[in-house]
Amino acid sequence: MNTLALPDKIDNLQSDSWQTFAPYFEALQQREIGTNSAEIHQWLEQYSHLSKLIHEAGSLIYINTTLDTNDKEVEETYMRFVSDVRPQAQSADQQLKQRLLSLNEAETGLALAMRSIRNQVAMFREENLPLFTAIAKLNTEYDKLTGNLSAEWNGEQQNLNQLVAHVGSDDRAEAERAYRTILDLWLSIRQPLNDLFVKLLPFRQKVAENAGFPDYRAYAFRRMERFEYTPEDCFTFHEAIEVVVVPAVERLLRKKQARLGVDRLMPWDWVPDMGNIVVSTIDGPPLKPYRGQEELIAGCSSMFHQLDSELALYFDTMAADGLLDLDTRQGKAMGGYCSTLPLRERAFIFMNGVGTHDNVQTMLHEAGHAFHAFESMAHTDLYWQRNTPMEFCEVASMAMELLAAPNLVRERGGFYSAEEAARARIEHLESILLFLPYMSVVDRFQHWVYTHPDEAMDTKKLDAHWLALWQRCIPLVDWSQFRDSAETGWQRKLHIFQVPFYYIEYGMAQIGAMQVWRNSLEDYDKALADYRYALSLGGTRTLPALFEAAGAEFRFDVPMLTELVALVEATIADLEQQL
């Protein structure tokens, strides 16, 4: 069998044209595979290379849309890709997957990946391809609506990411003003976001119906390959959070209330849906660890060199290759992410930095994703071996936040004095507790939406259901004067619009990451080695086995949460002694 001459880089390819890729799919579909191991693996390597090629092409086009949501040419390129390339690639890929499944599984060495591929083949429906295209186009509307929100602040026009930083001010009046400014911006697009969501919902319901599922939740669980847990397991997690974490959050908030000397906490004192900002229990101005992207890169590089020289090299490689875009600016999409570029075996990190400690945490988080990509690519060969469950991908990122925390002090390469580092670590540990109830609201909301689709088409019912969950899980804050803010919080969560059901992964991963951190307090070197080993496995193990490889258990019950919350509270108390 002759070697297929596939491009080894994206440069100079017209990636938004199906004709760029069609000949390669056709050649692989028509080529005889043979029966011996060498011939099978040659075909697999070529198919894997083509999968990496089109994955990277799509990633780069998407990255460009987030760098500038106002660039019409980039938007048109993305639309051509999702309209022309992606549907035809998915259809052609379906045929190649069917050929792959006809091979001797023992010869391929892809036993676990085959489970995933069988699932993808079983779920594929040609009639869903135009629906996916329509959904992708609507998803860009969310980025455009939110990416251009801005307001004047002290004579300067600032976007949402810049304004959020002021909510964390130690001046409570300034925090309130920032909160009200941001809320007004969100409420200005309340109706367009309502309209957008009710357009998305029927498309998703139709996708599920076409694939033979009773509702979109059932479809999403199968599409996201949640083979090891069910909706009922999510409910167990929700209940454990309500029993264990919500009371811990209330203890935390009462401490903050006492510090402020107020009879009630207001929405700007804890803002779970605008970056999980919470008023500090510690005197002192907000931490301002760096100014500009280059300072952030330099500081994080120093921290990673203290942690592990090989992981640091991965980070330095991204910096040298221009694969970090970290400062906020007008027109840039919201949020942060890490995108894998599998053909060149690199990763790209995107975020909206404004110089806060939260930005440092985001950088450590996204670097954890990047390290996962590098480690997986270094130890696996085929594209499908790197298909790691998202629940474990987030362990990679969240555990890195905790493992790198000792290096926040300047003596270990970081940004802070010893006292500032203690404040930063307290803030991070508090945010873990504060995040879990909010996560459960987001996940519970989506379970309701996609099992009650007719009711969910009424946005007043969406608001009411979100508000009921909010009042149940977000304690102590007085929302009586801000009902419109409380009930529209679902609009401020990008995942609900663009990646439905992708959120409980963060909660599950946080429990896994906390176990890795717990282990590091007993034997740091072993915990780091276990972490790296688990990352190197890519998607070659089941989800519970990946947790086990990292030294963690895949369970989310009351006893597990009780142990970990107690550790967090005890560590916070110890750190407070350093102030």
Does 467 score more than 50 pLDDT?
A: yes
pLDDT in tens, 338-387: 999 999 999 999 999 999 998 999 999 999 999 999 999 999 999 999 99
Give the 3-state DSSP-derived string for 543-576, with helices as H, strands as E and coil as C. HHHHHHHCCCCCCCCHHHHHHHHHHHHHHHHHHH
Q: 478 near 527, Cβ under 8 Å?
A: no
> How far is it, in rounded angstroms, from Cα 576 to Cα 579?
5
Averaged pLDDT for residues 230-234: 97
> How far is it, in rounded angstroms, from Cα 285 to Cα 41?
59
Residues 6+ apart with CB under 8 A from 428: 361, 401, 402, 405
E-strand spans in 319-380?
324-327, 337-341, 346-353
> How far is it, in rounded angstroms, from Cα 44 to Cα 99?
10
**Which of 325, 384, 311, 390 is CA-nearest to residue 353?**
325
- The residues that bridge with 347 in the sheet, in sequence order, are 340
Task: Give residue 1's pLDDT.
Answer: 42
Task: Give residue 35's pLDDT.
Answer: 78
> How far is it, in rounded angstroms, from Cα 75 to Cα 62?
9
- DSSP H/E element including 150: strand 150-153
Q: 160 near 149, Cβ under 8 Å?
A: yes
> How far is it, in rounded angstroms, from Cα 318 to Cα 344?
12
Q: How confident is the model at residue 282 (pLDDT cuts 50, 70, 90)?
A: low
Residues 6+ apart with CB under 8 A from 80: 16, 17
Question: The tokens of 111 are what?
Answer: 């036993």
Percent helix, percent strand, percent coil in the chain, to nearest 5: 70, 5, 25
Write down the residue that tokens 């945010």 correspond to: 431
Question: Minimum mean pLDDT among 143-152, 282-291, 421-430: which range?
Answer: 282-291
Q: 382 near 100, Cβ under 8 Å?
A: no
* Long-range residue pairs from 408-413, CB within 8 A, at least 24 positions apart, any chain: 408/303, 408/360, 412/303, 412/306, 413/299, 413/301, 413/302, 413/303, 413/304, 413/305, 413/306
Task: Give residue 186's pLDDT.
Answer: 96
Q: 533 near 549, Cβ under 8 Å?
A: yes
Q: How confident is the model at residue 3 (pLDDT cuts 50, 70, 90)?
A: low
Burial class (CB in 10 A: 0-12, 13-18, 19+), 292: exposed
Write down the residue that tokens 């595979």 correspond to: 33
Burial class (CB in 10 A: 0-12, 13-18, 19+), 141: middle
Q: How confident is the model at residue 169 (pLDDT cuts 50, 70, 90)?
A: confident
Q: How confident is the model at residue 107 (pLDDT cuts 50, 70, 90)?
A: confident
pTM: 0.91
Q: What are phi and psi of 477, to 5 degrees?
A: -80, 140
**Which of 549, 537, 547 is CA-nearest to residue 508?**
547
Packing angle, helices 309-320 and 357-379, rounded to 10: 100
Packing angle, helices 459-473 and 418-451, rounded to 10: 140
Task: Give residue 274's pLDDT.
Answer: 78
Q: 497 near 516, Cβ under 8 Å?
A: no
Question: Minimum mean pLDDT among 111-120, 322-331, 524-533: which range?
Answer: 111-120
* Percent of the chain residues past pLDDT 90, beyond the cut: 84
pLDDT in tens, 188-215: 999 999 999 999 999 999 999 999 999 9
Q: What are phi and psi of 291, to 5 degrees?
A: -125, 110
Q: 17 near 85, Cβ under 8 Å?
A: yes
Does 37 score more than 90 pLDDT?
A: no
> How far is it, in rounded angstroms, from Cα 38 to Cα 45?
10
User: What does the mean pLDDT of the chain come to?
Assistant: 94
Question: In 129-215, where does DSSP find H-type helix?
Answer: 129-147, 160-167, 172-188, 190-210
- In a 3-state reduction of DSSP, which class is residue 337? strand
- The residues that bridge with 156 in the sheet, in sequence order, are 153
Task: Give residue 72's pLDDT.
Answer: 94
> How far is it, in rounded angstroms, from Cα 489 to Cα 485?
6
Write down the residue that tokens 């002290």 correspond to: 154
**Which of 431, 426, 107 is CA-nearest to residue 271?**
431
> How far is it, in rounded angstroms, from Cα 565 to Cα 336?
27
CA distances from 52 to 8, 27, 68 (A): 10, 16, 25
Amino acid at 438: Y
Averaged pLDDT for residues 390-418: 96
